[in-house]
A and B are shown apart, each in its own frame.
Chain A
Amino acid sequence: MQTYYSDLLVIGAGLAGERVAVEAAQEGFDVTCLSIVPARRSHSSAAQGGMQAALGNCAKGEGDNVDVHFGDTVRGSDWGCDQEVARLFADAAPIEMRRLAHWGVPWNRVVPGKSFYFKGGEKFEKEEKEEKRGLITARSFGGTAKWRTCYTSDGTGHAVMCTMDNRCAELGIDVFDRKEAISLIHDGDKCTGAVVRCLRTGELEVFLSKATAICTGGFGRIYKATTNAVICDGGGHIIAHDTGVVPIGNPEAIQFHPTGIVPTDILVTEGCRGDGGTLLDVNEERFMNIYEPEKAELASRDVVSRWMTHHMREGKGVKSAYGEHLWLDIRHLGDKHISTKLREVDEICHHFLNVDPRKQLIPVRPTQHYTMAGVRTNKDGAVYGLKGLFSAGEAACWDMHGFNRLGGNSLAETVVAGGIIGVKIVEFLKGYETDFKTALVADAVKKQQDRIENLRSGANGKENVYKVREEMQDALMEGCFVFRNDAGLKKCIDTLQGTLEKARNVGLVSDGLGANHELAAALKIEGQVKLGLCIAKAALERTESRGSHNREDYTARDDQNWLNRTLAYWREGADMPELQYEEATPHYEIPPGDRGYGGGTIIEADKAEIEAKTIKK
């Protein structure tokens, strides 16, 4: 058996993982990164819009500063975030963007002079100052008071990912692709590495390390309709949760985006609606103006997703071979606008739908988009429950997003958190010694070998992994999607418990040899169903509506009872998660209040309690 040693093992080589790796390698530590795909194919490279940092260079960003960014982030989270963490994030973001520029990111820059921009389909003029020429510029994004989103044309994630991966190559970091971690090596107290399946040969390998960081991104793929890449399947969450001592933070906090295209659920940008696009139903009639007379299509992501779902439930959806959907209409924006400002949308329509958006409608539906849920860490990125285990990026619940993540804040989180947590890992590694117990390692490997053998031989049963997966995805789409209610959630839990049983009885149809995909799917299906059950159970218990978690039967945000974070544990041998709660934030810089959008009522928290926890400046 191939065994590798390093000071730091980073599972996941997206932006968060590689940023952590760079920090440790710069300090002279020996770092290994693992990834299912070549690092640059990580989902980070799919982000087009940009990343937030309060640089305040461009005209519409004037007066911006880290306090305003902090405020937007806290309000965006619907007061579900850890304010200490949001503060760390907002303060460090500008420095991190400049560092990226130093490493090679070709950020778009300020061009002095007059230019036009569109807002709600209307044309406005702005003027950039000469003194700001050549500094990093920014664009507008939902939920922000200022233009704060740094970008490189329509490929921010791609450009930053290239630069980060180049930096890894420069530092000589071992980045192994086609390696999938399938379990952690731990003794219930500390983590000392991982058992890994090589996706070239199918062989098992052992990676031992003093510290391990889980940076495996989101787990959107447990939903049927998701904008996420096919590798965003929760592998990292599963191996952490599987230890029985690591909790998933806020599993019920899942974000949905209004406009994924049908059938492939690829995202078309919010810009379509921002620039004046409309949503139509089966009769090609507008409906958002009925539900939200004021903001109509321009209401926030969650609100639009909700009304779209409602409208389809009313029987106004368009039937298709891939399920129901609605239409996005941008025909009236005209050829010039579409081929310049919405170039990427034009290309997606052409490549994936054979649709010319100048003449035809675009089929869309609300789609899973982001997981605020994640491996729970403290503000240093240290995972609850296991010493030597850290987590960063979308995989983690660090928790600066609370119950709703703002556009542009997650890509920024990957590098900002990666930097901060990287420093903390370096502090941890300095002066830390550990021992690798051979029996523990052999045990961990044996357990995985047995699992694989049983799946191959069908010793547990003959359930088809793809059918089981579909059952799980359907159950979550039904019960844990945009709208949630008591009956739906109970039914979802019921179904998923049956699915869990089936997941435990999966057997392979193929031989499972080499780079076999069926085996990879089978190895994580039980863990995925468990994640689903955590979402459903936590959503059932949380009898309020906060951010993306929306209860039809409890529409108010209940600060009296629910100003807290869910921690979902899965104890060994259990059939349901165990839920615990902790305070959302150790203190308030901004006491709970109205978000300023999305409407809804608030059941206020005890004034004295909040007062006692508020920092006076």
Chain B
Amino acid sequence: MSRQLEFDIFRYNPQDKGSVPHMQTFVLDETENMTLFIALNRLREEQDPGLIFDFCCRAGICGACAMVVNGKPRLACQTKTVDLPSQITLLPLPVYQLIGDLSVDTGSWFREMYQTTESWIHTNKTFDPTALEERMENEVAEQIYELERCIECGCCVAACGTARLRDDFLGAAALNRVARFVVDPRDQRTDRDYFEVIGNDEGIFGCMGLLGCEDVCPKGLPLQNQLGFLRRKMGITAIKEIFRK
């Protein structure tokens, strides 16, 4: 006999004047290899077409479907129901603006982050279509890629105590983004340039180092190392800054 799953799902549609935030219970028979992607779609198609949630790739690669599952931020599409008790509570990620039910606006948050961190290669070289590409050691390329694997799901920010307390805190994803450019030899920014962006309490010095972020990152990014790396680097830059004055 298959299990009966009981879903307690957060409901609130800001666009509906009559809507008030509440929890709603749904019941569903579990099937083999069921993921939360399958379960939520079945709930929407069979029980309540008004249910709002996000999925895109449904394969754990795009970051669209992050939500709080039984207390922990994670990707719903790669969460199997067999790994959960029959009682499942689903909440939207905190920190981000709510769009409705389980859907939050990570898009605006991350766009703002690109502008703050100037998330692009800063170089004064121009591209020459007739020349060979500039060489790079494969090891360096792999190191950059390792940090670029972030899928912007927002789990790390949702799990971060500092980000929940202050909404100007950049968060692990943004700091990791900066680290990605720090290790890239193509980017000509100096430590002082980076210091201006993250050398403050909204940035690296606001991080308490408790690492809720790394524990929940579905891509297993080395956030702890990166935060430590930046803290040391920015600490040194801070001291240099004091002596410059």
State the A residues within 8 Å of B (CB): 37-38, 40-41, 43, 45-46, 95, 97-99, 101-104, 106-111, 133-137, 152-153, 155, 158-159, 162, 165-167, 169-170, 175, 177-178, 200-202, 229-231, 262-264, 266-267, 320-322, 347-348, 351-354, 466, 508-511, 513-518
Contact = CB atoms under 8 A, between A and B. Distances in A.
B56 A230 contact: yes
B133 interface: yes
Contacts of A264: 33, 35, 37-38, 58-59
25 contacts: A37-B54, A38-B64, A40-B110, A41-B64, A98-B127, A98-B132, A102-B127, A106-B145, A109-B136, A109-B141, A110-B138, A133-B135, A135-B133, A158-B148, A169-B115, A170-B120, A178-B105, A200-B99, A263-B38, A264-B33, A264-B35, A320-B32, A352-B33, A352-B59, A354-B83
A41 B56 contact: yes
B92 interface: no
Interface in B94-109: 99-100, 103, 105-108
A201 B15 CA distance: 6
Nearest to B16: A513
B198 to A, nearest CB: 17
Contact of B137 (A101, A109, A166, A508): A109
Contact of B107 (A37, A43, A152): A37
Given A134-B136, A158-B61, A518-B44, 11 more contacts: A99-B127, A107-B133, A136-B133, A165-B114, A166-B119, A229-B62, A230-B58, A231-B56, A351-B78, A511-B50, A514-B15
Given A41-B64, A266-B59, A466-B45, A162 B133 contact: no
Interface in B29-64: 31-33, 35, 37-38, 44-45, 48-52, 54-64
B166 interface: no
Contact of B138 (A108, A320, A353, A513): A108
B152 interface: yes
B71 to A, nearest CB: 20
Contacts of A231: 56
Contacts of A201: 15
Nearest to A107: B141
B33 A177 contact: no
DSSP class of B's interface residues: helix, strand, loop or mixed?
A: loop
Interface string B130-156: 011111111011101100110110000
B111 interface: yes
Nearest to B64: A41
Contacts of B86: none
A46 B115 CA distance: 25
Contacts of B224: none
A158 B141 contact: no
A520 to B, nearest CB: 11
Contacts of B54: 37
Contacts of A466: 45, 49
A420 to B, nearest CB: 13
A101 B141 CA distance: 10
Nearest to B103: A515
B32 to A, nearest CB: 6
